Structure 1
Amino acid sequence: MAKTQPYTLAAVCPAGRDRAGRPAHTHWTFQQLDRESDAVARHVLERGGITRGVRTVLMVKPSLEFFALTFALFKTGAIPVLIDPGMGIKNIGQCLAEAEPEAFIGIPLANLARRLLGWGKATLRTVLPVAPPCKDWYARGNKPWLVTDEPYPIAPTRADEVAAILFTSGSTGVPKGAVYTHSIFDAQVAVLRDLYGLGPGEIDLCTFPLFALFAPALGMTAIIPEMDFTRPAQVSPGMIFQTIQDFGVTNMFGSPALIRRVGDHGARHGIKLPTIRRVISAGAPVPAEVLGTFATMLEPGASLTTPYGATESLPVCSIDSHEILNETRDLTDRGAGVCVGRPVGDVEVKIIRISDEPITSWSADLSLPDGAIGEIVVRGPVVTREYVNRPESTTLAKIAIPGQGGDVYHRMGDVGYRDDQGRIWFCGRKAHRVVTLEETLFTIPCEAIFNTHPAVFRTALVGVGPRGAMKPVLCVERQRAATAAGKTKERPLSKEALRRELLELGARHPQTKGITTILFHKAFPVDIRHNAKIFREKLAVWAAGRLR
Structure 2
Amino acid sequence: MSSSAPATVADMLPRMAASQPDATAIYFPTKRRDAQGLLEYQQVSYRELNERSDQIAAGLHAVGIARGDRAALMVKPSPELFALTFAMFKAGVVPVMIDPGLGIRGLATCLANAKPSAFIGIPLAHAARIALGWGRATVNRWIWVGGWVGGWFSGVGSGGHTLAQVEALGAARLRAGQPLGSTGPDEIAAVLFTSGSTGPAKGVVYRHRTFSAQVESIRSMFGIEPGEIDLPTFPLFALFDPALGMTTVLPDMDASKPARVDPRAIIEPIQRFGVTTMFGSPALLNTVGRHGEAAGVQLPSLRRVIAAGAPLPAQTIARWHTMLGPSADLFPPYGATESLPVACMPCREILSNTWAWTEQGAGVCVGAPVPAIEVRIIQITDDPIPSWDEQLVLPDGEVGEIAVRGPMVTEAYFNDAANTDKAKIREGERIWHRMGDVGWRDEHGRIWFCGRKTHRVVTSDGQTMFTVSSEKVFDVHPDVYRSALVGPRQGPTLCVELEPGCARAWDTIVGELRELAAREQANGCEPGRGLGGVSLGQIQHYLRYDARGGFPVDIRHNAKIGRERLRAWAQEQLP
Asked if these proteins are the same fold (TM beyond 0.5), I'd say yes
User: C-alpha deviations, 1:59-80, integer Å up to 9, x for none?
Assistant: 0000010001001111100000
* Cα distance in 1 between the residues matched to 2:31 and 2:172: 24
Counterpart secondary structure, 1:120: coil
Aligned to 1:530: 557
Amino acid at match of 1:498: I
> 2:499 maps to what in 1?
479
* Aligned-pair CA distance for 1:147: 11
The answer to whether residue 484 in structure 2 is matched with residue 448 in structure 1 is: no
Q: Does 1:432 find its partner at 2:455?
A: yes
SS in 1 for 2:312: coil
Match of 1:23 in 2: 39
CA distance in 2, matches of 1:125, 1:226: 34
1: CA distance, partners of 2:230 / 2:169: 27
User: Aligned to 1:52, which of 31, 43, 67?
Assistant: 67
- CA gap 1:501/1:150 in 2 versus in 1, 3 angstroms: farther
Q: Is 1:267 equivalent to 2:283 in the alignment?
A: no
Q: Residue 385 of structure 1 contacts residue 408 of structure 1 at CA under 8 Å; is this kept in 2?
A: yes
Corresponding residue to 1:241 among 247, 267, 272: 267
Q: Match of 1:129, as an amino acid?
A: W
- The residue number in structure 1 matching 2:85 is 70
Counterpart residue identity of residue 520, structure 2: H
Tell me the distance in 2 between the aligned counterparts of 1:228 and 1:60. 13
Distance in 2 between residues matched to 1:343 and 1:143, nearest whole Å: 47
The residue correspondences of 1:223-302 to structure 2 (distance < 5 A) are 223-302=249-328
Residue of structure 1 equivalent to 2:436: 413
Q: 1:62 to 1:140 in 2, by over 3 A?
A: closer
Q: SS of the counterpart of 1:3?
A: helix
Q: What is the match of residue 485 of structure 1?
A: none
Q: Deviations over 1:471-505 (max 9, x none)?
A: 10111111102xxxxxxxxx621122222221222
Return the offset for 1:290: 1.0
Cα distance, 1:133–1:213 mapped onto 2, change above 3 Å? farther
- Structure 1 residues 141 and 417, CA gap change in structure 2 (3 angstroms): closer
Q: Which residue of 1 aligns with 2:527?
A: none
Alignment check: 8 A CA contact 1:83 1:166 kept: yes
Higher mean displacement: 309-318 or 505-514: 505-514
Superposed CA deviations along residues 238-263 of structure 1, whole A, max 9, x for unmatched, are 12111111111111111111111111
Partners of 1:167 and 1:355 in 2: how far apart? 24
Q: Distance in 2 between matches of 1:67 and 1:423?
A: 36
Match of 2:191 among 147, 151, 165: 165
The alignment covers a number of residue pairs equal to 531
User: Which secondary structure does the structure 2 equivalent of 1:426 belong to?
Assistant: strand
Offset of residue 288 of structure 1: 2.0
Counterpart position of 2:236: 210
Q: CA deviation at 1:143?
A: 12
Question: Residue in 1 aligned with 2:525?
Answer: none
2:509 to 498, 501, 507: 498
Partner of 1:327: 353
Relative to structure 1, the CA distance from residue 424 to residue 154 in structure 2 (aligned partners, 3 Å threshold; closer, same or farther) is farther
Determine helix, strand or coil for the equivalent of 1:359. Answer: coil
Amino acid in structure 1 at the alignment position of 2:123: P
Q: 1:525 to 1:291 in 2, by over 3 A?
A: same
- Tell me by how many angstroms 1:97 deviates: 0.3
Aligned residue for 2:541? 517
Q: Is the 8 A contact 1:32 1:145 kept in 2?
A: no
Q: What pairs up with 1:320-469 in 2 under 5 angstroms?
A: 320-402=346-428, 405=429, 407-438=430-461, 439-465=463-489
| Distance change (3 Å), C-alpha of 1:151 and 1:237 | farther
Query: 2:405 and 2:181 mapped to 1: Cα distance?
Result: 29
The equivalent residue for 1:547 is 574
- Sort the Cα spacing of 1:143 and 1:296 in 2 relative to 1 into closer, same or farther, 3 A: farther
Could you tell me which of 496, 508, 519 is aligned with 2:519? 508
Alignment match of 1:35 (pick from 51, 57, 65)? 51
Cα 1:337–1:447 change in 2 (3 A) is: same
Matched residues in 2 for 1:47 and 1:147: separation?
8
Partners of 1:336 and 1:360 lie apart in 2 by 31
CA gap 1:161/1:5 in 2 versus in 1, 3 angstroms: same
**1:177-214 deviation digits (Å, cap 9, x = unpaired):** 00011110010011011111112110011111000010
CA contact (8 A) 1:41 1:152 kept: no
Structure 1 residue 199 and structure 2 residue 225: aligned?
yes
Q: 1:150 to 1:333 in 2, by over 3 A?
A: farther
- Give 3-state SS (helix, strand or coil) of 1:505's partner: helix
Residue 201 (structure 2) aligned to one of 164, 171, 175? 175
- Paired with 2:61 and 2:476, the residues of 1 have a C-alpha distance of 57
Cα distance, 1:79–1:143 mapped onto 2, change above 3 Å? closer
2:178 & 2:391 partners in 1: Cα distance? 52
Q: Residue 398 of structure 2 contacts residue 441 of structure 2 at CA under 8 Å; is this kept in 1?
A: yes
2:511 aligned partner, one-letter code: R
CA–CA distance in structure 1, aligned partners of residues 146 and 112 of structure 2: 25
TM-score by length of 2: 0.89
SS at match of 1:513: helix
CA apart distance, 1:48? 2.1
Given residue 187 of structure 1, which amino acid in structure 2 is its aligned partner? A
Cα deviation for residue 158 of structure 1 reads 2.3
Deviation at 1:18, TM superposition (A): 2.9
Which 5+ residue runs of structure 1 have no aligned equivalent? 482-490
Q: CA deviation at 1:51?
A: 2.0
Distance (whole Å) between structure 2 residues aligned to residue 39 and residue 269 of structure 1 = 46
Deviation of 1:152 after TM superposition, in Å, equals 7.7
Q: Which residue of 2 aligns with 1:488?
A: none
Match of 1:96 in 2: 111
Give the root-mean-square deviation of aligned CA atoms. 2.0
Give secondary structure in 2 for the equivalent of 1:96: helix
Alpha carbons of structure 1 residues 433 and 5: separation in structure 2 relative to 1, 3 Å: same
Offset, 1:133: 9.8
For the Cα contact (< 8 Å) 2:56–2:167, is it kept in 1? no
Deviation at 1:10, TM superposition (A): 0.7
1:345 Cα deviation from its structure 2 partner: 2.0
Separation (CA, whole Å) in 1 of partners of 2:273 and 2:178? 31
The letter for the 2-side match of 1:345 is P
Looking at structure 2, the residues matched to 209 and 145 of structure 1 have their Cα atoms a distance apart, in angstroms, of: 27
CA distance in 2, matches of 1:499, 1:425: 28
Question: Would you tell me which structure has more helix in proportion to its own residues?
Answer: 2
